[in-house]
Structure 1
């Protein structure tokens, strides 16, 4: 058994994303160079690993939505895209994620929630940022942000 879930994102983002914001999103989906701003890099995946000398070190930040190609557990294909639309931007992603990645994803989701199109925001101020399902479950559950808190299903 695996702790892998399928994460699906389909977000309409406002047109006022800065060039730096677009560059970060392109990095997060594996389509651009790493940003140089520390705040932006903090939304990347950093792992603690043991090096050849037995010391524990942190890896350089890595994108979190950059899986592409055949899926391991959920069948089908993984990938991400960021496209300019007539009214802003559209971010789409299908990824396999482990619960160890949730904390890193939260940083990215909270940041993204500030840029969603106003039509995406519910009357209570919540935003459905993605959908998630454990790889053996048939149904997706909404992943919602409310009051700057990610509510995991």
Structure 2
């Protein structure tokens, strides 16, 4: 039995998203050299609250190519649009990395220009995902299982 989760994200970020979060997101997507550093390796500034995940050991959305367990491809793209940024990512995330992913998902929901479903997460052996929803800037998780049970941590953290 494995411990991988399929994480799918598709959302727009408002033009007002802090540069520090965009830089951190680029790092998670594998587009910059290190967490908290720009292309030259110099630190990126921004309020501490807005710097998403400076202590990550590795990028969470950087894998590309055939998926090992969830089928299809793993990918991740961030593009500038006239209204801000467009993000699409599909990744296999190990259960031990979910606590590292949670703060990033919360930041994305906070700055999302997409109201409603921004993604989904499911244990790779399950058939039914939990929806990730941006509701007034907060991340909400909705289990689609009839009994309401989900296999990954609940959102917001610390609440049942």
What TM-score results when the alignment is normalised by the length of structure 1?
0.71
Q: What's the counterpart of residue 16 of structure 1?
A: 16
> Number of aligned pairs?
131
Mapped partners of 1:2, 1:30: distance in 2: 25
Q: Deviations over 1:88-111 (max 9, x none)?
A: 111110001122111111111111
For the pair 1:130 / 2:143, whether they are aligned, the reply is no
Relative to structure 1, is the Cα distance of residues 89 and 15 closer, same or farther in structure 2, using a 3 angstrom cutoff?
Answer: same
- Contact kept? 1:6, 1:96, Cα under 8 Å: yes
For the pair 1:70 / 2:60, whether they are aligned, the reply is no
Q: Which runs of 5+ in 1 are unaligned?
A: 46-60, 122-126
Give matches, 1:1-150, under 5 Å.
Answer: 1-34=1-34, 35=36, 36=43, 39=48, 40=51, 42-43=53-54, 45=56, 61-117=57-113, 120-121=114-115, 128-144=117-133
What TM-score results when the alignment is normalised by the length of structure 2?
0.69
Which one has a bigger Cα radius of gyration? Answer: 1
Relative to structure 1, is the Cα distance of residues 149 and 93 closer, same or farther in structure 2, using a 3 angstrom cutoff?
Answer: closer
Q: Which runs of 5+ in 2 are unaligned?
A: 37-42, 143-149, 151-160
